[in-house]
Amino acid sequence: MDIVIHHNPDCSNSRNVLRLIRDAGYEPVVVEYLQTGWTRGQLQALFAAAELTPYSAMRKERSPAKELGLLEDNVTADQILDQMLLHPSLVNRPIVACKKGVALCRPPERVLDLLESWPSGPWSKEDGTLLIDADGNRV
């Protein structure tokens, strides 16, 4: 199964999702979107597949969203998309795409819904939070 992760290596959620995918036995295509940027079509397709709007996919904290006026009530989806193209960090992460679907994987355990097989348990996030118990069950 081909898996693509739109990844920010500085983000613990993104690192946890990538490690979870790899520990499950997959080698995903890793797109470091802060380096590659986005295209409008790419964002529109990902958001549509994940049932997101530009607003719901936007990183609102620790991003330039407020300074750019994107949190105001009168901002349109096109205006948000325009700014996401200029400021890739506005897109919340990680976004994972595979044959089972596309999802914004925040919190990281959301990626489990996309994987046909999971890593052996127990499996914990970087901070020690258990996601999969010793019996292989989601916590």
Q: Which of 11, 34, 80, 84 is catalytic?
A: 11
Q: How far apart are CA 52 and CA 31, in angstroms?
A: 19
Domains recognised in the chain with CATH numbers: 4-132 (3.40.30.10)
Question: Prior bond to 88 cis, omega within 30?
Answer: no
Name the pTM for this structure. 0.94
Question: Distance between alpha carbon 10 and the CA centroid of its chain, in Å?
Answer: 13
**CA angle in degrees (0–180, nearest 5) for 72-78-83:** 70
98 assigned to active site: no
User: What integer best gives the mean pLDDT of the chain?
Assistant: 96
Look at residues 32, 83, 35 and name the one whose alpha carbon lies nearest to residue 58. Answer: 83
Q: What is the pLDDT of residues 14-43, one digit of tens each?
A: 999 999 999 999 999 999 999 999 999 999
